[in-house]
Structure 1
């Protein structure tokens, strides 16, 4: 089943007076890029999270964050005297320097000082983090499963859109083949008319020369190979949409090949009808390529 690279999942809970919450967010990316925001005091957590994520995910820019906060009476805030002393000493030096420059600073309130980082500390960190780490990892695995499920749902919707666009491309290729047949008669008649205007009617037209010119035009404007390759690309894309594993990169490369053939078709069209079909084809291919960017 196809997976999108877009997804979100969260899990939260409380353990030993600590409230915690996991958040996983993913968007498209060329490879797998993990950005982890984890509390550094939970020893050994980061390598476990990274290994679990790398095992479950193949592509995408994924941000994983864990918030841990104190809760309950055990985690009541306490004043850190040492930090407060350093902050007050720094404030005094700043005020003295400002006064020496003739500047008067507005006074700081106690609420502003308390809000400074480190002045109030929460002493709810367990001495042994192993049980907390195990519980957090169990919750992370569950969040990772939710994240994968959301990506699969998005991927299923994406596969349906891509399948519909492939049907549009297939129909346009069939229309192009019909236009090529109609163009052949038009080109022959146009060439005969042009030659008739420049040749003396009494001399008549050299049928061999006309046949030679028509053959040259046919070689320059033949789009049979382009149409055949487009048909082959449609089959390859359908196979990739049902294949196992991450196929986004291969689909993206295939879209480049689609676009190359459509460009060649337009440049060799030789008729307004075929050009219009080629331009419509390019539009659908561009739309499909935008969707492919989200496929894992």
Structure 2
């Protein structure tokens, strides 16, 4: 089954009082690599996130963003810095005495000091964070894998259509290739006629046949066409494999291109040369699609 490397997934997972929201995007890459953005309390679990993702994906650049929220009651508790409050009050009292000011020092005035009352730091339950984070990662990895498969099916249909198109175009190339010997024979006769025009020598039919056979053999593309048919068969076979196919398909494209270049270099007329250009153009479209395959 073909899987695309371009996909997106978003999950939210809650366990006890903790909720993890995770967004995952994947892009094309030759290898499996990660960009992970975690809250400070989750950073020690980065390697576990990579390990879980690696169980579902073998290639692609995967970007992961995580936010963590805690709905426990102690999140809303506050604590008073008594030492700082006393010091601030004594400073105000000293100022009042020095300036001979009357009146009481109000609570609101003391609260004006920075960080006298602060939100209490909750106790961090690392095991609970690890559990909810790993569960969310598994959900996200499965969701991403599902989308990759869905996008991969679209790629498979497109590639199947394009490889069939190449197969049809190749049939036209085969027909054109049959005319190459006659083309070279006619060209050879024309050249020899020019060379012997002045001295009146006649063309040797046997020698002409030999030279024609030599050029025809040199320009024969039947082996290249046979190999292209073999590559087409292999391409379809690889697309149906369960394992990752991207690298294999990319290698086959290089083999296709090598054969097309050879056929083009042997082309005996413009029609055949143009047919090869069309084949290479369609192959380039396939190559672009294959870059998305895991």
Question: Which band: TM-score by shorter chain?
Answer: 0.7 to 0.9
In structure 1, C-alpha distance between the alignment counterparts of 2:79 and 2:279, rounded to whole Å: 69
Is this contact kept in 2: 1:17–1:74, CA < 8 A? no
Alignment partner of 1:131 is 2:120:
no
In structure 2, C-alpha distance between the alignment counterparts of 1:247 and 1:179, rounded to whole Å: 33
Instruction: Tell me what 2:237 maps to.
Output: 239
Alignment partner of 1:191 is 2:173:
no
In structure 1, C-alpha distance between the alignment counterparts of 2:122 and 2:286, rounded to whole Å: 51
In structure 2, C-alpha distance between the alignment counterparts of 1:178 and 1:235, rounded to whole Å: 20
Instruction: Tell me what 1:169 maps to.
Output: 166
Alignment of structure 1 residues 1-296 onto 2, 5 Å: 1-13=1-13, 18-42=18-42, 45-69=45-69, 74-76=74-76, 123=120, 125-200=122-197, 203-296=201-294
> Deviation of residue 142 (structure 1)?
1.3
Using a 3 Å threshold, how does the CA distance of structure 1 residues 42 and 202 change in structure 2: closer, same or farther? closer
In structure 2, C-alpha distance between the alignment counterparts of 1:16 and 1:67, rounded to whole Å: 16
> Deviation of residue 19 (structure 1)?
4.6
> Deviation of residue 281 (structure 1)?
0.7
Aligned CA-pair RMSD: 2.8
Is this contact kept in 1: 2:37–2:65, CA < 8 A? yes
SS at match of 1:9: strand
Gaps of 5+ in 2: 82-113
SS at match of 1:22: strand
Instruction: Tell me what 1:99 maps to.
Output: none
SS at match of 1:41: helix
> Deviation of residue 228 (structure 1)?
1.3
Deviates more, 1:246-255 or 1:179-188: 179-188
> Deviation of residue 221 (structure 1)?
1.2
> Deviation of residue 167 (structure 1)?
0.6
Instruction: Tell me what 2:110 maps to.
Output: none
Larger radius of gyration: 2
Is this contact kept in 1: 2:13–2:132, CA < 8 A? no
Is this contact kept in 2: 1:70–1:124, CA < 8 A? no
SS at match of 1:214: helix
Q: Deviations over 1:250-274 (max 9, x none)?
A: 1111111111111111111121111
Equivalent residue pairs, number:
260
Using a 3 Å threshold, how does the CA distance of structure 1 residues 257 and 77 change in structure 2: closer, same or farther? farther
Using a 3 Å threshold, how does the CA distance of structure 1 residues 257 and 125 change in structure 2: closer, same or farther? farther
Using a 3 Å threshold, how does the CA distance of structure 1 residues 247 and 199 change in structure 2: closer, same or farther? same
In structure 2, C-alpha distance between the alignment counterparts of 1:17 and 1:133, rounded to whole Å: 13
